[in-house]
Amino acid sequence: MFFRGQTVGKYRILSPLGSGGFGSVYLAEDTWIDKKVAIKVPHRQNLDFGELLREPRLLATLSHPNIVTVLTAEKQDDVFFIVMEYVPGDTLEAVIDRDGTLDLARALDYTCQVCNAMDHAHKHGVIHRDLRPGNVLVTDQGLIKVADFGTSRFLEIAAHGTTVIGSPPYMAPEQFQGKAVFASDIYSLGVTMYQMFTGVLPYDTPMPADLDRLMRGELASPPKLKNPKLPKAISDIVMKAIAPDIPSRYQSASALLDAVLAARTPSPASRRPWRPAPGSPASSPSDEVSDIQARLKARETVQARFCWKCGKALAARADVCPFCSERQ
């Protein structure tokens, strides 16, 4: 759509960053303020203008350090595009392809950050529907940014997104029936966790003939079988996250986050004097948990909260909007 060196409005295209099923992304420079940005150009330019604005409007409702920030949307020379913050680094998919199985502390850190991002999105009524390593950006400093909300939607009165959208290896069973819910994102995150802990997917891309087995939970084996070093508690958490039936999964990203942090903290009955293995860093497992929590807290910023339905401001811990009575 664009080429290197092309000027589009005030943006100069520097290089292509990638292309997916819904659009192409370019690295560009805002020539007015000398700042690098990412420009996403949807493939389908013939959509109604309101439909083209759906993704940037949805992203504008989300403000979180672990979610890519949308800056604006523009139309120049009959080409519609979305301007977003540029996140230098790799996708989590590229990291896994390069490094294979990630070490436990690193994988848990990434998991916690994605949980924070999805908890924020879900609290604003937004289902991602295509959460996978290719849509998770990792900066050089280890900060996670969830991207590509192009397939997302607000949870509607019907209580599910009714279109079959997603990447099959990461799709929850109900998504194949066009019934995405918040727990569908938890399933996708569980598959992503599985891949970080083992370097491989829990199963091959399901074929139509495999859907019954997928829905019975027969395709996935515990990640500990593929990575014996993985603690059983973490392996069990992954299997609960990818449970085929919705009620058996974690019902929120915050519940999954709590389970991960609790599994990394030894119970009082099992605590023993800890000594580092020869050549290993002199920090205990509980120190790793504290470090993860401290880093996550340091990345958090206090954000105003708004009702996902009427858009009016909410009190800090309000569960129900005082204006439209909608539960948050």
The pLDDT value recorded for residue 179 is 82
Judge whether residue 208 has pLDDT over 80: no
The span from the CA of 65 to the CA of 143, in Å, is 9
* Contact call for residues 65 and 301 (beta carbons, < 8 A): yes
More confident residue, 270 or 54: 54
What are residue 78's phi and psi, to 5 degrees? 65, 15
CA 327 to each of CA 206, 235, 247, 307: distance values in angstroms, whole numbers, following the listed order:
36, 33, 20, 9
pLDDT in tens, 48-69: 888 888 878 888 888 899 999 9
pLDDT tens for 149-202 read 755 454 443 333 344 455 788 989 888 888 888 999 999 999 999 999 999 999
C-alpha span between 203 and 206 (Å, rounded): 8
Residue-wise pLDDT tens digits, 297-307: 544 444 556 66
| CB-count exposure of residue 85 (10 Å: 0-12, 13-18, 19+) | middle
Calculate mean pLDDT across residues 267-277. 48
Contact indicator for 2, 14 with CB cutoff of 8 Å: no
Length of the chain: 328
Domains of the chain in start order, with CATH, are 8-85 (3.30.200.20), 90-264 (1.10.510.10)
Q: What was the pLDDT predicted at 30?
A: 96
pLDDT above 90 covers what percent of the chain?
A: 50
- Residue of 109, 119, 130, 185 marked catalytic: 130
Alpha helix segments (H runs only) across the chain: 49-52, 54-60, 92-99, 104-123, 182-198, 211-215, 232-241, 253-263, 285-299
Do the Cβ atoms of 25 and 19 come closer than 8 Å? yes
Burial of residue 67, with CB atoms counted within 10 A of its CB: 0-12 exposed, 13-18 middle, 19 or more buried: buried
- Does residue 314 contact residue 328 with C-beta atoms inside 8 Å? yes
pLDDT at 267 over 60: no
The predicted pLDDT at position 305 comes to: 61
- Active site annotation includes 130: yes
Q: In whole angstroms, how large is the CA radius of gyration of the chain? A: 21
The more confidently predicted of residues 162 and 96 is: 96
Distance of CA 214 to the CA centre of its chain: 22
As a whole number of angstroms, the distance between CA 274 and CA 297 comes to 26
Summary mean pLDDT of the chain: 81
pLDDT band at 47 (very low <50, low <70, confident <90, very high): confident
